[in-house]
Amino acid sequence: MSAAALEARGLTRHFGALTATDDVSFAIQPGARQALIGPNGAGKTTLINLLTGVIKPTAGQIWLAGRDVTHLASSARVRIGLSRTFQINQLFPDMTPAESLALAISERNGSGADFWRALGSRPAIVAEIAELLARFGLEADMDLPTRKLAYGKQRLLEIALALATRPRVLLLDEPAAGVPEEERRDILAALAALPSDVAILLIEHDMDLVFNFADRISVLVAGRLLAEGAPETIAADERVRAVYLGEDAHG
């Protein structure tokens, strides 16, 4: 049996008396399109932070492509193929998209600590930046400081940066959050065009997006996995409907 791209085993995290993540086990297969949904406060952000190594679990393990990474620093996890985007843009405001991508690519291919050769002196990196800029429609803005980019373009750069690390597993944290309607289509197209060999875990509130994108859905409620399965199964699940009826009342 081939190893799952990413696997959580009995993942638990306490904050004082609060159990934010409660014995969560799940696996994402290579190339999967999986979604993680759940009402506000379900612990989705804590789970992402556990998976990416921003916080340490109280109990349980995290495996990445057959390797126990529970005790690995987050930057080390990135280097072996676990990358993420952020719900609230985490970009480099004064760096340009081209420079930001140059950084991500250099770190991935091991030339990030090179203190001698000038940026742009490695044609392979330049070609890869050009390819990513084209893929995400960022060529026209490549030499502007990131803070001057339209919000939708910044969201695209979020994804482009994560993809530049060549992940096996990509965690997308509400990629379309706050994007105005007219720029939304670009984000959806970019998501649809992500490489098929990359396993993707999409954390999202927008059910249209989730049911369009995912071939498997996990439902997190109060830190526990409530249900997991194909979109049809989840849509028909009484417990999930009950949770989301409450959600709909104020959303």
Which one, 86 or 244, has the nearer CB to another protein? 86
Angle (CA) 237 12 218, round 5°: 25
Which one of 95, 188, 207, 235 is in contact with another protein (CB under 8 A)? 95
Number of residues that bind another protein (CB under 8 A): 53
Residue 150 Cβ vs another protein, minimum distance, rounded to whole Å: 19
Q: What are phi and psi of 214, to 5 degrees?
A: -90, 145
Per CB under 8 A, the segment of 7-15, 135-143, 201-209, 237-245 that binds another protein is: 135-143
Residue 112 Cβ vs another protein, minimum distance, rounded to whole Å: 5
Q: Which residues on neighbouring strands pair with residue 21, listed in sequence order?
A: 13
Detail the DSSP E strand segments found in 150-223: 169-173, 199-203, 216-221
How far is Cα 160 from Cα 149, in angstroms, rounded to an integer?
14
Q: What are phi and psi of 163, to 5 degrees?
A: -70, -30
The amino acid sitting at 188 is L
Check residue 197 for interaction with another protein (CB under 8 A): no
Check residue 156 for interaction with another protein (CB under 8 A): no
Check residue 177 for interaction with another protein (CB under 8 A): no
Contacts of 94 (CB under 8 A, 6+ apart): 145, 146, 147
Per CB under 8 A, the segment of 58-66, 131-139, 196-204, 205-213 that binds another protein is: 131-139
Question: Other CB atoms closer than 10 Å to residue 149's CB: what's the count?
Answer: 20
Which one, 75 or 212, has the nearer CB to another protein? 75
Site map (CB under 8 A) of another protein, residues 101-130, x = contact: -xxx-xxx--xxxxxxxxxxx-x--xx-xx
Which one of 3, 22, 165, 207 is in contact with another protein (CB under 8 A)? 165
For residue 91 the two structure tokens come to 């970009």
**Binding residues for another protein restricted to 4-23, rule: CB under 8 A:** none
Q: Are strands 169-173 and 6-15 parallel, antiparallel or unpaired?
A: unpaired
Residue 121 Cβ vs another protein, minimum distance, rounded to whole Å: 7
The amino acid sitting at 128 is E
Check residue 180 for interaction with another protein (CB under 8 A): no
* Dihedral (CA of 200, 223, 250, 248) sign: positive
How far is Cα 12 from Cα 100, in angstroms, rounded to an integer?
34
Which one of 36, 62, 161, 172 is in contact with another protein (CB under 8 A)? 161
Which one, 130 or 227, has the nearer CB to another protein? 130
Which one of 131, 208, 215, 232 is in contact with another protein (CB under 8 A)? 131
SS3 at position 59:
strand
Contacts of 169 (CB under 8 A, 6+ apart): 5, 6, 28, 64, 81, 82, 83, 198, 199, 200, 201
- Give the interface with another protein as residue ranges (CB under 8 A): 52, 73-76, 78-79, 83-84, 86, 90-96, 98-100, 102-104, 106-108, 111-121, 123, 126-127, 129-131, 133-135, 139, 142-143, 161-162, 164-165
